[in-house]
Amino acid sequence: MPTYYEHPQYRLSKENWKRWRTLYKGDERDLKSPQFLYPHSLESKLADPASQQLRKSREQRTSYLNIPEIMVSLWLSYFFAKPPTLEAAEGSTIKLASKNIDGERRSLNRFLRDRVTATYLIYGKVAILADSFGEEVQSLAEQKEKGIRPFLEIIEPLDLVDWSIEQSDPKRMGEINAARQVYKLVGTRQSLAEIPRTYLYSVVRSRTPKGYQIEKYRRLIEDATIGLSVDTEIAGEDSRFELAEEPRLVKIDEVPISLLEDESWLKDLVGEVLRHYNLRSALDNVNHYQGYQKIFVKGVTDTAYEKALTEYVVSLLPEGGDAFAIDAVDTSGLERAVDGALLSCFKIGLNQLRTLPSDSKEAPSAEAAQAERLNTTQLVEATIEDLENAANKALEHFGLLAGEAPGKVYFNREISELGVEQILTIYQSMRQEFGNYPKIPQELVKKLVQKLFPNSEESAELLSAIEATPPPRSPQEAQLDRAKLLQGVIGGRRAAAGNEADQGVGNTDQQVR
């Protein structure tokens, strides 16, 4: 294999990418490392068995709240409140392939949501590759007859180790001239009786005078874990790499990779996520240590009694010894810190830094609320435009490989400044005032239904049910009703008591008091 290198930007960014990936995936085996779960001073002596035991015990009692995954899911729901629409000719390859665009049974809409947009939000970068199976065909008719067609897949940022972008040709400015992808894959087996073998692949895609060329190399990995992105350096020549297949030449004038790159939406969030994770670990461990009661017994000299006592949570004191109790540590300050860190995570993750606390009885000023909504709306609109452009570039590459006119995808651009989160915030902050106007909550619930169930038959049924439900009575009306009811009950009891007295029946001990 020739000598290949890593791109300088890849070297600079890969540690952050690995960090964001770990926090998003939430694998506790990775999160227990000192990089994420910061060692306490008592755990810092790595050679001390007692220190090691403390660390092990703390790791067992520490759990992780996956806030990055929650944030990404919320933004995906916001971006894809209405699914993208595909504009393509009936019977075209892209139209037929849109139900399984990546060969893994994902539709085009699901691929754009769960693969493209999610990867972009996590890393701030995503590459969409249009590829086709390596079988050679002589015509489009033969291609359709054999069912050979292109498909789309993404290249994770940690797998795209090197690339070259056009910077001189005005017509191709910003297009990719070459790219190298590294990934792990279990080799094909003819029978399940064969031992599974994992290979490390290095694929070089480049634009040449003759067309688009693909070179694929691989080497056997003796001890490999499948499912993790490759983040090891593969610079320089390695004699263990061999040519996996003959270089393939496709007669198109582009490297079919659509690259989108900006800033990660988790970049500012991960610091607060780590703070919350470590504060929560400290709180859980303090509570755990205080969860046991120790009982001491002194004056026992008979060994038979000692054995019976120590079978329980009991310790023996020496002659003349004494026992004392240690008061529990006050964790209220730590609890407030954990709650504050969690609130900060949601403020940062949802880009709502000026949001008031949930228990506040005040509402934000009109100017502050408008600025917050406008900032978030503009950010979402710009991101949707970038995603749409990258997706349509990938469809152009798909069309080149299919030999057909490319389709076009349109993302939902109906982004309201008053999203669901703003409606909920206003509802919580003004819930006291809404009690005086019972019709307002009903109208807000209707708007939430329309937002959460767009173009749905279920939406119409829910709206009809809401309309048929009478609005709740105001507190003043309810209080008046209770007063009337109480007055009627008291009046009725007095009348009943008077009748019994007039008739001279009933024991006074049984009369209504």
pLDDT of 130 over the 60 cut: yes
Residues in contact with 33: Cβ distance below 8 Å, sequence separation at least 6, in sequence order: none
CA angle, residues 53, 57, 63, in degrees to nearest 5: 150
Indicate the range of 147-161, 201-215, 330-344, 369-383 predicted with least confidence.
Answer: 369-383
Query: What does the pLDDT read at residue 279?
Result: 95
Determine the distance from the C-alpha atom of residue 482 to the mean position of all C-alpha atoms in its chain, rounded to a whole number.
48
Query: What does the pLDDT read at residue 163?
Result: 96
Query: What does the pLDDT read at residue 52?
Result: 87
Residue 241: count of CB within 10 angstroms of its CB = 19
Higher per-residue pLDDT: 487 or 398: 398
**H or E element that contains 371:** helix 366-402
| Structure confidence by residue, pLDDT tens digits, 260-292 | 999 999 999 999 999 999 999 999 888 887 665
Give the residue-averaged pLDDT of 346-374: 64
| Structure confidence by residue, pLDDT tens digits, 97-106 | 999 999 899 9
Q: Which amino acid is at 266?
A: L
Please enumerate, as own/partner, the contacts of 28-37 that have beta carbons within 8 Å and a separation of 24 or more: 28/63, 28/64, 31/64, 31/277, 32/59, 32/62, 36/274, 36/277, 37/62, 37/277, 37/278, 37/281
Query: What does the pLDDT read at residue 236?
Result: 41
pLDDT of 214 over the 80 cut: yes
